[in-house]
DNA sequence: TAGGCCATCTGGTCCT
DNA sequence: AGGACCAGATGGCCTA
């Protein structure tokens, strides 16, 4: 894998989460959480959990003002309200864990995609958006190569006049050649990038010169 | 220091 | 009801 410095942070503990958020690890490879189950352990109580800023302030104030059942409906009502609050908090934390897990899986898939994409230099790391864009163009280029190779085998150049796959790879308007640097590719009018519904989204490149974030 | 990228939290919505 | 998915907000880290 790429950057293994980041631990999967197994616990569903808020404290750990906050720590992880502040991690100084430059290696950003998210790596899968060790298991889906183990993240949903101890988020029951909000007693000790630092909790995110908003939540923390909210639950703190609720807890304080409610202590003796002032106002509202007496101690019992206060306890009920508190229980409801805890239940909500507990559900929120569970949802947070699931969401975190989901994003980890998404990132793992993205990493797997990065692994099969050629980069130069080899250990360069594409960003998420770059990975998606490059993969899109890369697949298009490979498909085009297959198509042209098939056409070449069948006979003379097709209606598009492409003599060989090679010329398509290296042509001025072509998509990235697999043998060349993937970062050198440009948009082709015929390429998926060029015909994408969101021209802005696909930008004018397949993949930029890599940043070294390791 | 500004801007880019990222992880996480959060509330809303949809689905099972 | 609970889980999955999504998008906005927030804050940290890194690089130019």
Does the CB of A100 fall within 7 Å of any strand B atom? yes
A167-179 tens-digit pLDDT: 333 333 334 433 3
In contact, A6 and A29? CB cutoff 8 Å? yes
How many Cβ atoms sit within 10 Å of the Cβ of residue A161?
A: 8
> A92-97 contacts: CB < 8 A, separation 24 or more?
A92/A55, A93/A12, A93/A14, A93/A43, A93/A46, A93/A49, A94/A12, A94/A40, A94/A43, A96/A12, A96/A17, A97/A12, A97/A39, A97/A40, A97/A43
Give me the mean pLDDT over the A16-25 stretch: 38
Q: A94 CA, C15 C1': separation in Å?
A: 35
Does the CB of A51 fall within 7 Å of any strand B atom? yes
> A153-156 contacts: CB < 8 A, separation 24 or more?
none
Nucleotides of C under 7 A from a protein CB: 2-7, 10-16
Does the CB of A94 fall within 7 Å of any strand B atom? no
Q: A103 CA, C4 C1': separation in Å?
A: 12
The chain-wide mean pLDDT, for chain A, equals: 57
A177-193 tens-digit pLDDT: 333 333 334 333 334 54
Q: A68 CA, B14 C1': separation in Å?
A: 40
Q: A214 CA, C10 C1': separation in Å?
A: 25
A201-211 tens-digit pLDDT: 343 334 444 44
Token digits of residue A206? 């397949």
d(CA A207, CA A120): 10
| Residue A211 φ then ψ, to 5° | -90, 150
Please provide the size of chain A in residues.
214
A82-94 tens-digit pLDDT: 888 888 888 889 8
DSSP A181: -
Residues whose CB is less than 8 angstroms from the CB of residue A131 and which lie 6 or more positions away in sequence, other chains included: A110, A113, A114, A117
More confident residue, A66 or A17: A17
Token digits of residue A187? 């948009």
């Amino acid at each position: 894998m790429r950057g293994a410095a980041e631990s999967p942070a197994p616990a569903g503990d808020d404290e750990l989460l906050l720590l992880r958020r502040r991690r100084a690890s430059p290696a950003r490879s998210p790596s899968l959480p060790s298991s889906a189950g183990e993240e949903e352990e101890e988020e029951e109580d909000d007693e000790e959990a630092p909790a995110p800023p908003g939540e923390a302030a909210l639950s703190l104030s609720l807890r304080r003002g409610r202590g003796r059942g002032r106002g509202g409906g007496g101690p019992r009502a206060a306890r009920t309200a508190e229980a409801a609050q805890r239940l909500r908090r507990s559900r929120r934390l569970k949802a947070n864990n699931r969401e975190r897990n989901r994003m980890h899986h998404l990132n793992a898939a993205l990493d797997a995609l990065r692994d099969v994409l050629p980069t130069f230099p080899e250990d360069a790391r594409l960003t998420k958006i770059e990975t998606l864009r490059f993969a899109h163009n890369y697949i298009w280029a490979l498909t085009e190569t297959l198509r042209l190779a098939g056409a070449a085998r069948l006979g003379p150049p097709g209606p598009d006049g492409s003599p060989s796959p090679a010329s398509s790879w290296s042509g001025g308007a072509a998509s990235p050649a697999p043998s060349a640097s993937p970062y050198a590719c440009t948009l082709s009018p015929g390429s998926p990038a060029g015909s994408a519904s969101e021209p802005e989204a696909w930008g004018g490149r397949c993949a930029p010169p890599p940043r070294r974030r390791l």
